[in-house]
Amino acid sequence: MSTIQILFFFLSVLAIFSAIMVLISKNPVHSVLWLIAVFFAISGHYILLNAQFLAIVNLIVYAGAIMVLFLFVIMLMNLNADSEPRKHQWMKIAGVISGGCFLMVLISLVRQTIEITGKTALVKEGNIGLIKNLGKVLFSDFVVPFEISSVLFLSAMVGAVVIGKKD
Amino acid sequence: MTTLLAFDWILLIEKLILIAIIVFASLGIALYTTFAERKVAAILQDRPGPNRAGPFGLFQPFADGLKLIMKEEIIPNTANKVLFILGPGLAMTAALMTCAVIPWSTSVEFFGRKIDLQIADINIGILYIFGVVSLGVYGIMIGGWASNNKFSLMAALRGASQAISYELAMGLSLIAVLMLSGSLSLKAIVEQQQAPGNLWNIAYQPLGFIIFFICALAECNRTPFDLPEAENELNFGYHQEYSSMKLGFYLFSEYINMIMSSAVMACLFFGGYDIPFFDESTLSPNIAALLGFLALFTKIIIFIFVFMWIRWTIPRFRYDQLMNLGWKRLIPLALFNMLLTGAIILWKQG
């Protein structure tokens, strides 16, 4: 096994284990912390694919900002295991079924969009994930979607300010 | 890269030694920074300061450390044990992780091997620092929450929202520097300032530096932004329930953060290991590296002194003042600085 394979398996196991822990942790704060571990593992995968910019932005945005807000909300809501209402059995089954359907849709989507069979990921090569190339592509080929999404962000920010404003 | 054996093992050993040296050096320097803080406070307040342990009180930090370790360790009954212990560890780890991308000096040569005095010259150096800084928030939040004390939780929220707010302005002030340098690697930024004909970035980015410096004060929880640990009026901080060396870790990580942010500021705005008015390339590489390191170290010490000077001069802000400064002053100012820099660069290109 090469170093990269060892790293790949280590990161994959870490990601899957943490993802399972997110689901089965009783304490919501623990779930959030495990989710942060998932993001770390996924960033490790990005680095293996030589997409360092994506890796670090994933950490800064998700682990650094969004998860902090998650933690804020969960800590302030003060969810306790005993004060939480138990969900009905049927609700759980319905959740499993709808989640499974969603997973199936995702898998079929991935299978249809690109031909995966017989292809290997470019590990340690390919430099589209480097900041220079990514920036060039974003500001030339994909400039319209990029700008539209930035307008979307701006409107989200304005909306948040409007909602948060006391009058 | 096909097999494990193709790996450059000597490089690995070299890097491990370098990491060990830098981590232990940071811890040692942080130890003496606590001492320096007390001495500087004493000088500014016209009193002798710690002078009992050893000559000039030089053993004081060891005495303090010993005291912290020997004290009884109390974990509150209702605390979340795992997270309570994890909190200070995370704070310390995040503080130490920054040192990986700081170029401490040029490369040295030992036994014909060229050794870079930088643990990792990654091409996303500055973003890496941001990532680590944003993780530092977790040490505060987890510690505050796991204590299961509402005052700790309040202080943790206060600290975390302060860190998030000032990270934004910090990032925006950095974008202007990046426009000038065109690279995210700290080494490339330093080398660019070192190149003949180029001035240090402070000459091009005075406003950016001031914004960055203020944000660094806030990120390190230093006065006037030390609300997360305002012991007199806000009932201490997120580490209220902590005792013994766990408390020591929180306080100590603040000093390490101070050293690291001083190093980052020196690299970004003050030429890093560049010696002013002097051409290092005439010297032999090892001596140049040593002198370069001393130059960087001097800059770091000057910054740390300024940090302390400010701490013992200015009273702390009120919380709403702090938020107003961050969101309504610094962020627009940083945006303006960014636009101005971009406009000037475009104008110069013609």
pLDDT of residue A79: 63
Q: Give the gyration radius of chain A's Cα atoms.
A: 20
Residue of A nearest to B2 (CA): A2
Which of chain B's residues have a Cβ under 8 Å away from the Cβ of A9?
Answer: none
Q: What is the DSSP letter of B315?
A: P
Residues 6+ apart with CB under 8 A from B39: B49, B50, B57
Nearest CA-CA distance, residue B52 and chain A, Å? 44
Residue of B nearest to A71 (CA): B141
Nearest residue to B130 via CA among B183, B168, B178: B168
Q: Determine, for residues B124 and A63 on separate chains, whether the beta-carbon distance falls below 8 Å.
A: no
Q: Which pTM value belongs to this model? A: 0.87
Residue B36 maps to a domain = no
pLDDT of residue B233: 67
Residue B259 maps to a domain = yes
Who among B1, B124, B141 is closest to A68 (CB)? B141
| CA–CA dist B188, B179 (Å, integer) | 13
Residue B290 maps to a domain = yes
pLDDT per residue rounded down to tens, chain B (350 residues):
444 555 677 888 888 888 999 889 888 898 889 899 989 999 999 998 888 888 888 888 888 888 888 888 888 888 888 888 888 898 899 888 888 888 888 888 777 777 788 888 788 888 888 888 888 888 888 888 888 888 888 888 888 888 888 888 898 998 888 888 888 888 888 888 888 778 888 888 899 999 999 999 988 888 788 877 776 666 777 888 888 888 888 888 889 999 999 999 999 998 888 887 777 777 777 888 888 889 999 999 999 999 999 988 888 888 888 889 988 999 999 999 999 999 999 998 87
Which of chain A's residues have a Cβ under 8 Å away from the Cβ of B123?
Answer: 52, 130-131
Every domain of chain A and the residues it spans: 3-129, 130-167
pLDDT of residue A124: 62
pLDDT of residue B2: 46
Q: Which residue out of A75, A77, A78, A139 would a mutagenesis test of the B interface target, given it has the greatest number of B Cβ atoms within 10 Å?
A: A75
Residue B27 maps to a domain = no
Q: Which residue out of B145, B149, B152 would a mutagenesis test of the A interface target, given it has the greatest number of A Cβ atoms within 10 Å?
A: B145
Q: Determine, for residues B1 and A124 on separate chains, whether the beta-carbon distance falls below 8 Å.
A: yes
- Give the residue ranges of chain A where pLDDT is below 70: 1, 78-86, 114-129, 167
Who among A60, A76, A130 is closest to B123 (CB)? A130
* φ, ψ at B175 (rounded to 5°): -60, -35
Who among B83, B134, B156 is closest to A65 (CB)? B134
pLDDT of residue B1: 42
Residue B44 maps to a domain = no
ipTM of the complex: 0.82
Nearest CA-CA distance, residue A145 and chain B, Å? 23
Q: Report helix, strand and coil shares of chain B as percent, to nearest 5.
A: 70, 0, 30
CATH of A3-129 given 1.20.120.1200, 3.90.110.10, 3.10.580.10, 3.40.630.40 = 1.20.120.1200
Residue B244 maps to a domain = yes
Total of domains in chain B: 1
Nearest CA-CA distance, residue A128 and chain B, Å? 14
Residue of B nearest to A125 (CA): B1
Q: What is the DSSP string of B231-284?
A: TTTS-S-TTTT--HHHHHHHHHHHHHHHHHHHHHHHHHHS-TTPPTT--GGGS-
CB contact at 8 A, B260 and B126 = no
Range of the domain at B280: 72-106+122-349
Who among B7, B142, B164 is closest to A65 (CB)? B164
Residue B211 maps to a domain = yes
Q: What is the DSSP letter of B120?
A: -
Nearest CA-CA distance, residue B292 and chain A, Å? 29
Which of chain B's residues have a Cβ under 8 Å away from the Cβ of A6?
Answer: 4
| CA–CA dist B177, B200 (Å, integer) | 11
Q: Which residue has the tokens 């932004």?
A: B225
| CA–CA dist B89, B140 (Å, integer) | 10
* φ, ψ at A128 (rounded to 5°): -70, -25
Which of chain A's residues have a Cβ under 8 Å away from the Cβ of B161?
Answer: 72
For the CA atoms of B218, B221, B224, B227, the dihedral, rounded to the nearest 10 degrees, stands at: 110
